[in-house]
Amino acid sequence: MSSGHQAELIAKDYLQKQGLTWVASNVSYPFGELDIIMQEHDAWVFVEVKYRATQHFGGAISAISNKKIARLRKAAAYYLQQHQINAPCRFDLLAIEGSEIHWLKNIF
């Protein structure tokens, strides 16, 4: 696997197999992008997908910065407002490192 797009397809498939419902992918605003939006029961789940071929330099899990978190929060808030959604939401990280998948729920 060499691209972020392939990682997002793997992430989407993995999460659907875990019982989540896909809503949208690659929702982009000038101030941030949401990789995948899913629903789990009544909760909206904003999923950041990170891929690394190896765990060198901290791997995929350590690849999310405070600046990135702020952009994700802003993009998610805008998405919820734009679609008039008033429901619980959370932010998950799906880290793909080589052939391993790590799903971290409610990361911030």
Q: What is the CATH number of the domain that holds 72?
A: 3.40.1350.10
The three-class DSSP label of residue 99 is coil
User: Residue type at 17?
Assistant: K
Full residue range of the structural domain in which residue 39 is found:
4-104
Question: Distance between CA atoms of 75 and 25, rounded to whole angstroms?
Answer: 13
Give per-residue burial for 60-96: e unless 16+ CB within 10 Å, then b.
Answer: beeebeeeeeebbeebbeebbeeeeeeeebebbbbbb
Structure confidence by residue, pLDDT tens digits, 63-73 = 678 899 999 99
Q: What is the mean pLDDT of the chain?
A: 89
User: How does residue 1 score in pLDDT terms, banded at 50, 70 and 90?
Assistant: very low
| pLDDT tier for residue 32 given thresholds of 50, 70 and 90 | very high
Average pLDDT for 49-71 = 75
Asked whether residue 100 carries a pLDDT value surpassing 60, the answer given is: yes
pLDDT above 70 (res 99)? yes
Q: Are 48 and 91 in contact (CB under 8 A)?
A: yes
32 vs 60, residue with greater confidence: 32
- Number of domains forming the structure of the chain: 1
Share of the chain above pLDDT 90, in %: 69
Nearest to 107 by CA among 91, 95, 96, 94: 91
